[in-house]
Structures are given as structure tokens and as C-alpha cells.
Copies of this chain bind each other. A is one copy, B any other.
Amino acid sequence: MGLIVQKYGGTSVANLERIRNVAHRVIRTHNQGHDVVAIVSAMSGVTDSLIALAREINESPDKRELDALLATGEQTTATLLAMMLTSMGSPAQSLMGFQVQVRTDQCFGNARIQDIRVDRVRSLLSDHSIVVVAGFQGCDAEGNITTLGRGGSDTSAVAIAAALTADACDIYTDVTGVFTADPNVVSKARKIDRISYEEMLEMSSIGAKVLQIRSVEFAMKYNVPVHVRSSFSEEEGTMVVNEDNGMERVVVSAVTMNKSDARITLRKVPDSPGIAAKIFTPIAAAGISVDMIIQNTRASGKTDLTFTVPKADYKVALAIEKQVAKEIEAEDVFGDENIAKISVTGVGMRSHPGVAARMFACLAREGINIMMISTSEIRISCLIEQKYAELGVQALHTEFGLDAA
């Protein structure tokens, strides 16, 4: 009999009927003799509604307050599920982030877990209670409520599974697993049975919304096998595990796209040492993540510098860089939100050269211009015009032999 961590996403707990289904699933596992810790997200739509409410007050609401506001979403679901379980005869208690405690840094809106104290969870489990934990949230050393960023409940689940050395971590969501491409975009996309942490990490980092990237980092670091599956069926999902021989030997495992970034360009920046630090330090100080960066040197001793940031942080970042541009005497700053990043990922790339060339040729055949390129050992990403995103993904899915028969 083991210790099972189950995470239920927003669509799985969207209303009381679905929470009841989740309760049945939790109880079934509990009745098999397992200890169960259920991590829950906010009901679908709640987080967005709360953000919209805060934005009616201020386009960039105070981040500390926004976190405490958003945390109510998971608090609501956790208490409702605990009530439901107790009411169905399986005593349960909810714990919020500050009660677990999920200790984080103070980076509101995107906090990182530093430490998890599991004494209270263990004590409840030893009393045969089911434990329901509000995902997505933690608290800093001063007791301020923090949140872990979009999809943070995945990270809560994997981190808690790691801290408890759980036997399994099941991520219940509204899809049946990880696919070779978004089935809404590519009709011939196929479910992947097993995928390595590294591939999942690359896919998460480029916008596959199945798992939050940090959750995969945690899983990889602590070797937590993660089972991504649907709460609406009994179908086996995708196992995210250490790279092993059981995996399909393919060059490219998946094609993904991401429309959530925006691009900012500083034109004719004086090309002197320390300039890049001046450009990116204030962005980092504002807690904004930068993804791709390219720099083109001009003959004049000036350089153009382009980088991407999340669309959510675009306005703030643009305002910061307008200020920076004045200070460093760059000629101009402009931005673009109509971009998409398409990527191919696969551990097979390590042993198969030429994947990049094949990708560029494929996009060229479709008449798609590439604005920026970034690569890792097992991934190649291209920034393109947003309107070509679906076309690009479909073409690459076919090109790399991923289409279902």
C-alpha cells in the first residue's frame, strides 16, 4: 500500500458535479489501501475572473495583493473537495499553502518553492485522513501568500510528492496525455505513452500546456514518475519518466507552438560592454522572464537587440525599456505581440544531425519567414508571425513523420 499524490486541474473541478467525480476517484484509491494527498487547482475560469477583477482596479495590480486574491481560488476548491469527501464517509482535511507549509521565495506571481514541511500532512495521513492541498500557492518566510505562476498546481503536486517520497504522482487534467502536437491544431496528433523528463521539460518551456515547467524540473530532480492522464476517463495517459530504452526511437517526439510571448526590440544600441546588463537588469528586477534574445551588430558600432517576454508582462517590459533606451541612448524601442514560437523536440536529435536544416526547409516551403531561432540539445524553436503558427505546426508534424496512420 503506497502513498499516492493526485493533482486535479481546473476543468476537473469546474463545478460540484465534477468535484464529486474527483471525490469518487480519490475514495476509490483510498479504499484500495493507499494514503492519498489530493492537490487541487481553482475551478476553471476562476483565476481568470479574479485577474480581470484586479485589472479593473489597475492594469498592473499590486503583485502581493494579487497573489492573496488568486489564492482564494484554490482555497475554495480545496475546502469543497474536503467537505465532499468527509460527507461521502471518507474524512478529509484541506490545507492551504501556508498550512502545509509550502515555503517559497518572495517573487509574487511566480514564486519558487524553497522548502516543504510535510509534518502536518504526514500526521493527518497517519490518522487515516485524506489530505486535500490547495495547489498553486505557498507562503514566504514572513507569512505572505505567494503563488507559483500559471500551472503552479502541477509544481505543488510534484514538489509535495517529492517531499513525501510518494509512490506515484498522477496529474489529472482534461486531456488523456501528452500528444505529438496539440490535437486541436493537428488532427493526426498521437498520444505519447512514455516521454523523458528532458523532452517534457523542453516541451513545457515552449508552451505545451500539459505540465508547468517547474513541475517537470522537480520531477526530474527528485525522480518522481509523473502520470499525466484525464479525470474524465479510465484511459492510461502518458508517463513522464527517466529516459530509458522503452521509449520510441524517433528523431522528433513532438511539435509545439506558443502564442503567449511578445517581442521587444531596441534599435541602434551603442555597442559597449555592460549594455546588455543595463537592458536586462531592470527586467529581471521586475520579475519578468526573458526567453529568446538575439543581437545583430551593425557596421556603425551600434547593435539591434531583440528579446521576448510573456505577453502578460509586455506592457511593463516595454515601459521599462523605453526608460532604459533613453539612458543608454538607443535610437528606438518597439514591440510586437503578433508572434508565435514553434518548436520541435526530441532526444533523438542528439544522434540525428540535420534536424534544424529540415525544419527551416519545411517552413520555407510553406512560405513562413523565421524571425528568431533558438536551440537546445534536444529542441529547435523558431519565432514566426502568429498567423502562420497552425500552418507551421501541421507541416512540421507531417515532415517529421508524427502523423497518425
Give the docked Cα–Cα distance between A83 and B66 (Å): 8
**Which of A51-59, A164-172, A363-371 interfaces with chain B?**
A51-59
CB contact between A83 and one of B65, B72, B76, B144 (< 8 Å): that residue:
B65
Number of identical monomers bound together in the oligomeric complex: 2
> Nearest-CB distance from A398 to chain B (Å)?
48
Residue of B nearest to A78 (CB): B68
Interchain CB contact (< 8 A) of A80 among B54, B64, B82, B144: B54
Q: Is the interface of A mostly helix, strand, loop or mixed?
A: helix
User: Is the pair A80, B96 in contact by a Cβ cutoff of 8 Å?
Assistant: no
Question: Is A75 in contact with chain B by the CB < 8 A criterion?
Answer: yes
Interface residue range, chain A: 20 to 34
Question: Looking across the interface, which residue of chain B has its beta carbon closest to that of A99?
Answer: B143
Which chain B residues lie closer than 8 Å to A54 at the CB level?
A: 79-80, 83
Q: When the two chains form their complex, are residues B65 and A69 in contact, meaning their CB atoms are under 8 A apart?
A: no
Interface stretch of the complex, out of A25-33, A86-94, A346-354: A86-94
Q: With A66-B79, A69-B79, A83-B66 as known contacts, state yes or no: A16 contacts B98, CB within 8 Å.
A: no
Interchain CA distance A75-B68 in the complex, whole Å = 7
Chain A positions within 8 Å of B, measured between CB atoms, are 16, 50, 53-54, 56-58, 61-62, 64-66, 68-69, 71-72, 75-76, 78-80, 82-84, 86-87, 93-94, 96, 98-99, 143-145
Report 23 cross-chain contacts, Cβ distance below 8 Å, ordered by A residue.
A16-B53, A50-B76, A54-B80, A54-B83, A57-B80, A57-B83, A58-B83, A58-B86, A65-B79, A65-B80, A65-B82, A65-B86, A68-B75, A68-B78, A69-B75, A69-B76, A69-B79, A71-B75, A72-B72, A72-B75, A96-B145, A99-B143, A99-B144
